[in-house]
Amino acid sequence: MRARLIATALLAVAYLTASPVLAGETAKIDIKLFQFKPKELEVKKGTTVTWTNDDAIEHSVTAGKPGKAAQDFDSGFFTKGGSFSHTFDAAGRFTYFCKRHPNMQAAVKVD
């Protein structure tokens, strides 16, 4: 019986942590050790995502891919402790990168 309760609790935790963020909600992405964390985030339309720079160097959050920036959003460069927010109002998969460090790439999937 105890094993069954533990299994049920683990499934509930897995479901809650894998669920997309609800519309009108907020979500957070950390910039740490030259990486966007999480690398892929799933949200609902209307969600505002905030990126926070935890590195001691400037980064950007720029829509598109290196060499092919999109017009959807661009934070410009911001330093440690700085943040940038964008509200995703359309469905799709939005890739982004850091202009200064093009190997830093990630995506937000909007349902």
pLDDT above 80 for 86: yes
Query: Mind giving me the DSSP string for 27-49?
Result: EEEEE-SSSEESSEEEE-TTEEE
pLDDT score for 4:
46
Question: pLDDT (tens digit, 9 = 90+) per residue, 23-41?
Answer: 579 999 999 999 999 999 9
pLDDT score for 23:
55
pLDDT above 70 for 21: no
Cα Rg of the chain, angstroms? 16
Residue spans per domain, the chain: 21-110
CATH number of 21-110: 2.60.40.420
pLDDT above 80 for 94: yes
Contact in structure between 77 and 60 (CB atoms under 8 Å):
yes
Quick one: pLDDT band at residue 8, thresholds 50, 70, 90?
A: very low
The Cβ of residue 16 has, within 10 Å, a number of other Cβ atoms equal to 8
Contact in structure between 73 and 63 (CB atoms under 8 Å):
yes
> Comparing 14-18, 21-25, 69-73, which segment has the lowest mean pLDDT?
14-18
pTM for the whole structure: 0.78
Query: Phi, psi at residue 10, to the nearest 5°?
Result: -65, -40
* d(C-alpha 26, C-alpha 10), whole Å: 25
